[in-house]
Structure 1
Amino acid sequence: MKIAVAGGTGFIGSALVKALLSRGDEVWIISRTSASAPAQHSHLRSLNWAELETAPDLLEGVDAIVNLAGESINQRWTAAAKQRILLSRIEAAQKIGRIVAALNRKPEVVVNASGISIYGTSENHIFEENSPATVNDFLSSVVEQWEEAADRIAVPRLVKLRVSLVLAAKGGAFPKMAMPYRLFAGGKVGSGRQWISWIHIEDMIALIMFCLDNTNISGPINASTPNPVPNDAFGKAVAAAMGRPHWFPVPAFLMKVIFGELSTLLLDGQRVIPRQALQSGFQFQYPTIDKATQQLVGRQRHA
């Protein structure tokens, strides 16, 4: 396949590009500057947004576009940061829409990143793809507008990939979440009852490629493990994998002081199930937090 990846130099994007090249796909990385693209590969090309705005036909003949572009949410949510987070997502989807509209042969599928924040937070409810949107905070509002922009991309098949917490040994949130345990100071955060919906980076990449390859998949799909866990259980799994204690609780008020509004990501939970992925036959390599954390810290449990 010929696949364009917007945000292909980021945390998820770089892993996806590597996997696509490994299976023999031709890949176009779309980034803010072509110079930010990695070293050249015989099947790898790089383009920037400005080039594509001027000459969208540079992507003529691509079979699929994966849009992972967007400002990181892992920063203090000042008014300026909120504006960047929102606009970067909406504008990337709009640019993809304009590029697709200008192509003579449209790509068969666009996989556009989204987020599980669309469902709102709850300690009691279980959220699946058909659960209604609950817009009651900053992130849920961002995701709602993000998906509305993606819905206007005129392709035969649009997949809205609602991403949960992506766990990787390097990059993303996991190294920071594991750091207190390395220092023998790990424990539950806040009440510890809030649900964490997560996915291992290898399953994240495999799911994106599964969505590209399977024509029966469209609309929202939850990129999350079938087995979300409460924060306390998540921490215990990290502690067990690292051979460290799980004993030092972090009170909610301290998280709010340190992180401000961003603390909602750690204090408010969502129990999200990937019903569409499961019904479509996707197989998770790391379905449980114990298996995932053992792999991430480089240790294997012995029977």
Structure 2
Amino acid sequence: MKIVLAGGSGLIGQKVTEVLQEAGHQVVILTRKNVMDDQHVEWLSEGLLPEDAIGYADAFINLAGVSINDGRWSENHQRLIYESRMTATDELLRIIRALPKAPSILINASAIGIYPADKHKLYNEQSNEVASDFLGKTVHDWEQKALSAEKDGLRVVCTRFGVVLSLDGGAFPLMALPYKLFAGGTVGTGKQWVSWVHINDVARAILFAIENRNLSGPVNVTAPSPKRMKEFGQTIGAVLRRPHWIPMPSFAMKLALGKKSALVLTGQHVKPEKLLENDFEFSFPTLESALENLLTKNV
């Protein structure tokens, strides 16, 4: 298949490109850089018509947007996070509608932040609650914009990512660092849920969604064994053979991270029901297996 990818330079985009190419697919990456080769097409600059260079495509993947992990969540940065997603998705929909033949599927990135933070509820794709905070509104509006492509005959899948575990970026390197320095401990109350997923399984789930026509709408991309934050930290310590002893209280996290501290001080208990019902096999179904893969080669 010929697959067009927006956001290919990001943490998830790079891994998705690798997995798709290993599976034999042609990947065309939409980029803001002026790159002249067969794999890249410039977009989001005035006067450009990327659809002319694309020609046709079997599938589109939208991972484009300012990272939620970079910088403090000032009002300006929140605006950039929100508007970058809306702008990129609008342009992607315009490109799709300008092609002579529409692709069959649009995979649009999303996040479990759409669910309200709760220490007791278990969420699956049938859950209708939407968080009222910044992240909940952003994810909700992003999904609704992407889902408008259904009117054009596309199958749309909104992949709701959990906390992505990778050593190359995202939140995990900062979560593991205190343990490497023998200073790890419970963050906040420790009772908040961490619905995590190994980055390899994120990329494999995206490929699975492209190939599996039974999947549409929201799809939770989280491992089947979420942990509460205290147990999550204890497991990092056990894998690294480091103590779990110095707590990081909530007020300290709020001072250090501002509004972004919500990413680690609150959480959602999420089940990847659609993936499990369609027999997706996680390479790293348990936290221990994921951390062994990521950390034991890098101690």
Interval containing the TM-score (normalised by the shorter chain): over 0.9
Letter in 1 for 2:177: M
Letter in 2 for 1:79: E
Please give the alpha-carbon distance, in whole angstroms, between the structure 2 residues aligned to 1:127 and 1:136. Answer: 16
Please give the alpha-carbon distance, in whole angstroms, between the structure 2 residues aligned to 1:207 and 1:163. Answer: 10
1:205 to 203, 206, 209: 203
Shift of 1:19: 1.6
Note if contact 1:110-1:155 (Cα within 8 Å) is conserved in structure 2: no
Q: Which residue of 2 aligns with 1:69?
A: 64
Summarize deviations over 1:104-163 as a string: whole Å, max 9, x none.
Answer: 110110000011111111000000001013232110011111111111223420001111
Q: Which residue of 1 aligns with 2:253?
A: 255
Alignment gaps of 5+ in structure 1: none
- Is the partner of 1:215 in helix, strand or coil? coil
1:6 paired to 2:6: yes
Note if contact 1:241-1:299 (Cα within 8 Å) is conserved in structure 2: no
1:137 to 130, 133, 138: 133
Please give the alpha-carbon distance, in whole angstroms, between the structure 2 residues aligned to 1:29 and 1:284. Answer: 26
Q: TM-score, normalised by structure 2?
A: 0.94
Shift of 1:180: 0.2
Please give the alpha-carbon distance, in whole angstroms, between the structure 1 residues aligned to 2:78 and 2:40. Answer: 32
Q: What does 1:73-222 correspond to in 2, within 5 Å?
A: 73-74=68-69, 75-153=71-149, 154-222=152-220
CA gap of 1:52–1:200, structure 2 versus 1, over 3 A, is farther
Summarize deviations over 1:164-204 as a string: whole Å, max 9, x none.
Answer: 11101222221111100011000110110000011001111
Summarize deviations over 1:280-303 as a string: whole Å, max 9, x none.
Answer: 110011111111111110259xxx
- Is the partner of 1:90 in helix, strand or coil? helix
Shift of 1:50: 3.0
Q: Which residue of 2 aligns with 1:50?
A: 45
CA gap of 1:57–1:71, structure 2 versus 1, over 3 A, is same
Note if contact 1:160-1:220 (Cα within 8 Å) is conserved in structure 2: yes
- Is the partner of 2:135 in helix, strand or coil? helix
Q: TM-score, normalised by structure 1?
A: 0.93
Note if contact 1:53-1:99 (Cα within 8 Å) is conserved in structure 2: no
Q: Percent identity?
A: 40
Please give the alpha-carbon distance, in whole angstroms, between the structure 2 residues aligned to 1:26 and 1:51. Answer: 27
CA gap of 1:204–1:51, structure 2 versus 1, over 3 A, is farther
Alignment gaps of 5+ in structure 2: none
Note if contact 1:119-1:134 (Cα within 8 Å) is conserved in structure 2: yes
Please give the alpha-carbon distance, in whole angstroms, between the structure 2 residues aligned to 1:53 and 1:298. Answer: 46
Note if contact 2:6-2:31 (Cα within 8 Å) is conserved in structure 1: yes
Q: Which residue of 2 aligns with 1:26?
A: 26
Letter in 1 for 2:262: T
- Is the partner of 1:176 in helix, strand or coil? helix
